[in-house]
Amino acid sequence: MFIPHTPQDREEMLQKIGVSSVKELLAQIPQDLLYPVLDLPRALSEQELSAHVRALAARNKPLKNFIGAGIYEHFIPAAVQALSSRGEFLTAYTPYQAEASQGTLQTIYEFQSCICSLFDMDVATASHYDGATALAEAVLACLRITGRKEILISAALHPHYKEVLRTYVRHQPGVCVKESPFGADGALDLAALEKNLSAQTACFVLPTPNFLGCLERANEVAARVHQAGALLTAVVNPLALGVMQTPGSYGADFAVAEGQPLGNAMNFGGPGLGIMTAKKAYMRQLPGRIVGIAKDKNGRRAFVLTLQAREQHIRREKASSNICSNEALCALNAVIYLTLLGPQGLREVAELNLERAHQLAERLEKLPGFKRKFTAPFFNEFVLECPVPAKQIVRKLEKKGIGAGYALGADFKGLENCLLVCATETKTEADLQAYADALGGI
């Protein structure tokens, strides 16, 4: 009973199978299991529906956004959407027989190449569902490689990433997830890390910047992790790599990220773009697909799937993962964005993020009762300690048209008065001052 069927179509089908109504057709199903009859208003015409939706949208209150916490507001050049929305991309962005589409394979190859260059890593996959699932897949690879059962993560890892990771390993026999604390400066407590690393540790998950915005001493962490015989999985902000040291430079075995900051809109939190990279030695442990270059029988360049460790291509029990969503349109946005900016442009955008966030922090710290909670270096977001619970600040500034930040109390005990504040290149001097004035006014 699909929408395109007219009442006459339905009557003819019911007569053909010998029943007088849909109710009679479903009579054998207990009434309490049937979906209730919906009391819907009359159907609207296209013109009426458009007007209705516009009226609903007008009720939204626009906020000047200073919220980060994993999804970030960045300027996206118009060319990104103009190119990725072309018909040849929109109609072929995720073919199940990708090996037949040279255009799709080329865009994935270019994406992988850009990501390898940006991360300074040997190999990148086609993409994953989001940053959290990319991390979980990397950790599963570490378990397979080391044969160990303990996963050690930073306590300052994104709370949602923690939940996804625990969901992935919940039914893995003997596998456990432990947290290593951060210190008073907001960065990882290195002494505690040394104590927590053991002969059972398969990997350590290092977010930098971490969820609190703080940059980690990645070289020192990597040395300790590898000395314990464990693998290092880094979680990074790809845009921050325009000014930060790369995962490859400090010897990360795997490096993952949420690729949304690279030319993808926030879209109420999704879709995301899971980025996953690794050292060449671990290439065959990667899930999903890897695109490479070969030659056809006439000697011409041809893009091919060179590694296909997913359940659609090999026996399910041999697949490195059974969840290998390829966010190809989001990856296309990312590669167009990176190509438009180039290395220098990406660095300039990253520097603007760094500058805006530090300018805002300086202004807010001048307000009575407010101070920066942690002293570790930060990129484009920081923790602001408030004289009252952060949730109150969020509610009050919302009434002034400002998204004040992310209240940390629900995720971190003892940080109930702390607000995670973000400022990107989209914020002007006037925006920063307006935030400071609004905060001072309450």
Top-confidence residue, 213 or 323: 213
Mean per-residue pLDDT for 170-195?
97
Q: Is 348 exposed, middle or buried (0-12, 13-18, 19+ CB in 10 A)?
A: middle
Q: What is the pLDDT of residues 265-321, one digit of tens each?
A: 999 888 999 999 999 999 989 887 888 999 989 999 998 888 775 555 666 666 666
Q: Is 318 exposed, middle or buried (0-12, 13-18, 19+ CB in 10 A)?
A: exposed
Q: What is the pLDDT of residue 406?
A: 98
**Opening angle at CA 281, ends 276 and 286, nearest 5:** 35
Mean per-residue pLDDT for 59-68?
93
Q: What is the pLDDT of residue 1?
A: 46
So where are the chain's domains? Answer: 64-74+343-440, 78-336
Q: Which range (1-15, 165-179, 284-298) has the least confidence?
A: 1-15
CA nearest 153: which of 300, 144, 142? 142
Q: How far apart are CA 395 and CA 404, in angstroms?
A: 9
Q: What is the pLDDT of residue 154?
A: 98
pLDDT of 99 > 90? The answer is: no
- What are 201's strand-pairing partners? 150
Peptide bond between residue 173 and the one before it cis (omega within 30 degrees of 0): no
Q: What are phi and psi of 417, to 5 degrees?
A: -95, 15
Q: What is the pLDDT of residues 29-52, one digit of tens each?
A: 998 888 888 888 898 999 999 999
Q: How far apart are CA 398 and CA 129, in angstroms?
A: 31
Q: What is the pLDDT of residues 230-247, one digit of tens each?
A: 999 999 999 999 999 999
Taking the domain 64-74+343-440, which CATH number applies?
3.90.1150.10
What is the percentage of the chain residues whose pLDDT exceeds 90? 77
CATH architecture assignment, domain 78-336: 3-Layer(aba) Sandwich (3.40)
Q: How far apart are CA 132 and CA 56, in angstroms?
A: 32
Q: What is the pLDDT of residue 88?
A: 78
Q: What is the pLDDT of residues 402-438, one digit of tens each?
A: 999 999 999 999 999 999 999 999 999 999 999 999 9
Q: What is the pLDDT of residues 174-183, one digit of tens each?
A: 999 999 999 9
Mean per-residue pLDDT for 205-209?
98
